[in-house]
Each structure stands twice: as structure tokens, then as C-alpha cells.
């Protein structure tokens, strides 16, 4: 009975409860993107020209309908020492891409980032409970903060699978979440 009551007092975190630091160090609450689709892709920071071109084409195509975040993965080779060149390469050629600071992306990492923990634990995101295995993983969050797709690196940005995922109709949006003491509280009608 006590566990049942605790589940009401400590609900799973929503994505809008999280904040990220971009590559320049600015802290941004993800609640700023409520009402927009968000796409998160795990990057090494030194993607091949082919992968870079596909990401560029994807960001260009969906620049008006989604916010795309590039998660720079420390386990996949991103180094803070490369920050300047990575920042310059992506910002000059990939329109609208929001690059994060370098972060630990795997469950096994001692310091897995809160954002990556949210993506890899069903107890937090309500749907997906699996670790990622490398750069190229993609996570799709709808306009209301629901994780609706997680695709491995084999699903490239030029694949038809990605086009189907992006064509998911917008969900009817509830009232924006009210932020209170780090928790998302939704209005009940």
C-alpha cells in the first residue's frame, strides 16, 4: 500500500523537467520547446561526410517542424579539446542544430547524463528501456513530450523509416505543463 501511494507522490519525470547545456555552456530548459517535435541524435562529433550530409539535409527539411539536438557522446569519441572545431563545423553547415555539451550516454557510465537516462529508462520516459550502443541513435519526442520513437544507427536520416516517423500527426496538445519545484504538473479537467 505504501509503494502505491508513493507512486502518486513521485511520478516519473517528464522531458520538460530536464535542462540541457549547449556546446557553448548555456543552460536551456527543454520546457522551452513544448509544442514542438524534438529529435535527438547521438553524435561522435567527427561524423563521416555521408552522415554529416544526411544530418544537414534532415535539419534543412524539418527546420520549421522540429528542433534537432545533437548529443555529443563522450563514449563515442567526443573530446572537450575538439569543442571549437566541432562547434564551427556543425554551426556553419547544419541549420538549426542545437549541439549539446559532451555527455556520457550509456547506462553503464558512472555519470550518465540526465537526458540520456530519460531516454534509456522506461521508468522515466514511459516507453523505452534499453541502452544505446553507439553514435547514430535517434530519439523522437512529440509536441506534448511523449517519446514516440527510438531508432538505432541503421535507420539513417535518408531512410523511409525516418520519413514515416516524422510524418506522425501532431497530437492534440493539452495545456502547457506548469513547472513547480522541478516537477511537471498537468491541469486536470
CATH number where 134 lies = 3.40.30.10
Q: Does the residue 178 lie in any domain?
A: no
Confidence band of 174 (pLDDT split at 50, 70, 90): low
Helix (H) / strand (E) element for 164: namely: helix 160-166
Q: Alpha-carbon distance 27 to 105, whole Å?
A: 18
| Domains held by the chain: number | 1
List the one residue out of 189, 188, 187, 182 whose CA is nearest residue 31: 182
Q: Does the residue 107 lie in any domain?
A: yes
Confidence band of 185 (pLDDT split at 50, 70, 90): very low
Q: Does the residue 166 lie in any domain?
A: yes
Q: Does the pLDDT of residue 167 top 70, yes or no?
A: yes
Confidence band of 92 (pLDDT split at 50, 70, 90): confident
Q: Does the residue 176 lie in any domain?
A: no
Cell (9 digits) for 58: 534532415
Q: Does the residue 71 lie in any domain?
A: yes
Cell (9 digits) for 77: 569519441
Q: For the residues 35-40, what does the mean pLDDT come to?
A: 95
Q: Tell me the average pLDDT of the chain.
A: 86
What's the pLDDT score for residue 143? 93
Q: Does the residue 189 lie in any domain?
A: no
Instruction: Please give the residue range of the domain that contains residue 166.
Output: 12-171
Confidence band of 168 (pLDDT split at 50, 70, 90): confident
- φ/ψ of 103, rounded to 5, equals -145, 155
Q: Alpha-carbon distance 53 to 59, whole Å?
A: 10
What is the three-class DSSP state of 155? coil
Q: Does the residue 186 lie in any domain?
A: no
Confidence band of 86 (pLDDT split at 50, 70, 90): very high
Q: Does the residue 32 lie in any domain?
A: yes
Q: Alpha-carbon distance 121 to 133, whole Å?
A: 14
Helices within the chain (DSSP H only): 2-9, 49-61, 83-93, 114-120, 122-125, 160-166
Amino acid at each position: 500500500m505504501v509503494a502505491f501511494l508513493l507512486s502518486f507522490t513521485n511520478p516519473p519525470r517528464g522531458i520538460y523537467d530536464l535542462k540541457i547545456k549547449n556546446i557553448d555552456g548555456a543552460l536551456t530548459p527543454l520546457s522551452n520547446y513544448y509544442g514542438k517535435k524534438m529529435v535527438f541524435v547521438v553524435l561522435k562529433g567527427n561524423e563521416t561526410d555521408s552522415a554529416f550530409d544526411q544530418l544537414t539535409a534532415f535539419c534543412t527539411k524539418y527546420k520549421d517542424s522540429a528542433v534537432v539536438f545533437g548529443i555529443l557522446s563522450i563514449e563515442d569519441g567526443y573530446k572537450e579539446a575538439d569543442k571549437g572545431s566541432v562547434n564551427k563545423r556543425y554551426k556553419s553547415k547544419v541549420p538549426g542544430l542545437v549541439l549539446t555539451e559532451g555527455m556520457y550516454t550509456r547506462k553503464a557510465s558512472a555519470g550518465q547524463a540526465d537526458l540520456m537516462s530519460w531516454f534509456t529508462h522506461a521508468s522515466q520516459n514511459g516507453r523505452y528501456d534499453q541502452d544505446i550502443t553507439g553514435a547514430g541513435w535517434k530519439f523522437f519526442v512529440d509536441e506534448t513530450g511523449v517519446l514516440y520513437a527510438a531508432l538505432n544507427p541503421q535507420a539513417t536520416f535518408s531512410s523511409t523509416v525516418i520519413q514515416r516517423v516524422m510524418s506522425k500527426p501532431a497530437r492534440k496538445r493539452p495545456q502547457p505543463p506548469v513547472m513547480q519545484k522541478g516537477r511537471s504538473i498537468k491541469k486536470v479537467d
